[in-house]
A = this chain, B = another copy of it.
Amino acid sequence: MARGAGRGGSSGAPRSVDVAQLAGVSQKTVSRVFNNEPYVSADVRRRVLEAAAELGYRLNNAARALASGRTRHIGVVTLGTALYGPASLIMGVERAVRDTGYALRVVNTVEGDPAGIGGAVDSLLDQGVDGIVISEPIDDGQDGVLADRLDVPVLVLGAPPFPAPRALAAGVGADLMAQTATEHLLDLGHQTVHHLAGPQQWYSARDRMEGWRSVLIEKSRAVPPVIEGDWSAASGYAAGRELAAVDDMTAVFAANDDMAIGLVRALTEAGLRVPEDVSVVGFDDIPVAAYVTPPLTTVRQPFDVVAQEGIKRLVHTIENPQADPLPASEPPVDLVVRASTAPPPLQTPRGRGRRTTSRPSGDRHGQSLDGGSSAHD
């Protein structure tokens, strides 16, 4: 064949032999230098590097992978949505992966594809990866099937431990964050808190719901029926219309900010003021959360931290197959209190404390400038 086709212009890209020749060393020595192996004299190393630079040499990864059996690639399975949470997580994963010197291979699960996550994992395995990250998985009932084929370590972000030989889990702090959000509302004096949940196939949606529920139960509060949305503002809006009709509803914890925003709009349109009549807490802290009306109290997810630690543990497992996996740490909880939460209205029956107004609701104090105060600062 034509030699390293696709690379250099005419006669092919330079190979390590070429570098070796120019530097006056053996090809293996060039390999040593480029793999940072020990036992190379400083002088030789320098000469090799110079020769490589002069030739514009780049290591051929296909050959490297073939010879070593390791691709130095990590594959990530995503849901293929531009939702803030998943997208942020991917960005965090990319950064973390790159820091470790691995390359990232991305595959979306096609919506409505029966193969689902299994299909995506398969295609990753086909391409060849040393490890796999599954981000915010949904439960498509294929856990068992998957486990069989997974002969590489897997990191599952935002889900409980996974039935695979070498599986890690990370970012399972959603329940804790949900608890904090719920407690914040109770601390303000609300009798109980309603929950606008995410789609229940999502582990992260279930986690948040469990966190919410556990607090209510622990504090012996009534547990209102859960309303399930689909993460979208539209579904939050629909939920808001339902909730507006519920008596004594004074606080809602929404499983993400988009739904919270739709919810607030529906409540406002129904004549309920946020936060005077109803308090709302979101989840994610999306960029606009501080600037909607009213600025949204929400829980910020530490995507970067979670991704970074997760990848670090994954790479450790890849490179030390025998060793014990690194332990996971609890991600920090960051409740950002803004203007969408307040004490509940006085004990009058609904329809009463409420003001009629033509203004956009919750046009309140100056907090809006910096977007609110974080529990962590």
Q: Are B107 and A94 in contact (CB under 8 A)?
A: yes
Q: Are A66 and B59 in contact (CB under 8 A)?
A: no
- Enumerate A331-377 residues with CB–CB distance to B below 8 Å: 357, 359-361, 363, 366, 368-369, 371
A140 CB–B CB distance under 8 Å: no
Provide the bound-state CA to CA distance between A19 and B126, in Å.
16
A208 CB–B CB distance under 8 Å: no
Q: Are A94 and B80 in contact (CB under 8 A)?
A: yes
Pick the contact of A69: B5, B107, B368 (CB < 8 A). B5
- Enumerate A24-70 residues with CB–CB distance to B below 8 Å: 58-63, 65-70
Q: Are B237 and A291 in contact (CB under 8 A)?
A: yes
Minimum CB–CB distance from A70 to chain B (whole Å) comes to: 6
Pick the contact of A288: B3, B123, B258 (CB < 8 A). B258
Question: In the complex, what residues of B have CB within 8 A of residue A81's CB?
Answer: 91
Minimum CB–CB distance from A165 to chain B (whole Å) comes to: 8
Q: Are A80 and B91 in contact (CB under 8 A)?
A: yes
Pick the contact of A265: B5, B88, B291 (CB < 8 A). B291
Minimum CB–CB distance from A115 to chain B (whole Å) comes to: 12
A137 CB–B CB distance under 8 Å: no
Q: Are A69 and B106 in contact (CB under 8 A)?
A: no
Given A69-B4, A91-B80, A105-B105, the answer on whether A261 and B60 have CB atoms closer than 8 Å is no
Interface residues on A, range: 35 or more
Q: Are A82 and B88 in contact (CB under 8 A)?
A: yes
Provide the bound-state CA to CA distance between A369 and B234, in Å.
8
A87 CB–B CB distance under 8 Å: yes
Q: Are A87 and B94 in contact (CB under 8 A)?
A: no
- Enumerate A257-293 residues with CB–CB distance to B below 8 Å: 257-258, 261-262, 264-265, 268-269, 286-288, 290-293
A246 CB–B CB distance under 8 Å: no
Question: In the complex, what residues of B have CB within 8 A of residue A94's CB?
Answer: 78, 80, 106-108
Residue in chain B with minimal CB distance to A295: B265
List the one stretch of A6-14, A154-162, A170-178, A213-221 in contact with chain B: A6-14
Q: Are B58 and A62 in contact (CB under 8 A)?
A: no
Question: In the complex, what residues of B have CB within 8 A of residue A366's CB?
Answer: 360
Provide the bound-state CA to CA distance between A130 and B292, in Å.
44
A104 CB–B CB distance under 8 Å: yes
Question: In the complex, what residues of B have CB within 8 A of residue A151's CB?
Answer: 6-9
Q: Are A3 and B69 in contact (CB under 8 A)?
A: yes
A84 CB–B CB distance under 8 Å: yes
Given A94-B80, A108-B94, the answer on whether A292 and B293 have CB atoms closer than 8 Å is yes
Question: In the complex, what residues of B have CB within 8 A of residue A287's CB?
Answer: 83, 232-233, 258
Contact with B along A309-338 (1 / 0, CB 8 A): 000000000000000000000000000000
Given A68-B1, A288-B233, the answer on whether A108 and B98 have CB atoms closer than 8 Å is yes
Question: In the complex, what residues of B have CB within 8 A of residue A294's CB?
Answer: 360
Provide the bound-state CA to CA distance between A96 and B8, in Å.
27
Not counting A59-B126, A104-B106, A234-B371, a sample of 20 additional A-B residue pairs whose C-beta atoms are within 8 angstroms of each other reads A1-B68, A1-B69, A6-B71, A62-B71, A63-B66, A82-B88, A94-B108, A98-B107, A103-B105, A103-B107, A237-B368, A261-B288, A265-B368, A268-B363, A286-B288, A288-B288, A292-B293, A357-B363, A359-B363, A360-B366
Give A contacts to B, CB under 8 Å.
Answer: 1-9, 58-63, 65-71, 78, 80-84, 87-88, 91, 94-95, 98, 103-108, 110, 123, 125-128, 130, 151-152, 232-234, 236-237, 257-258, 261-262, 264-265, 268-269, 286-288, 290-294, 357, 359-361, 363, 366, 368-369, 371
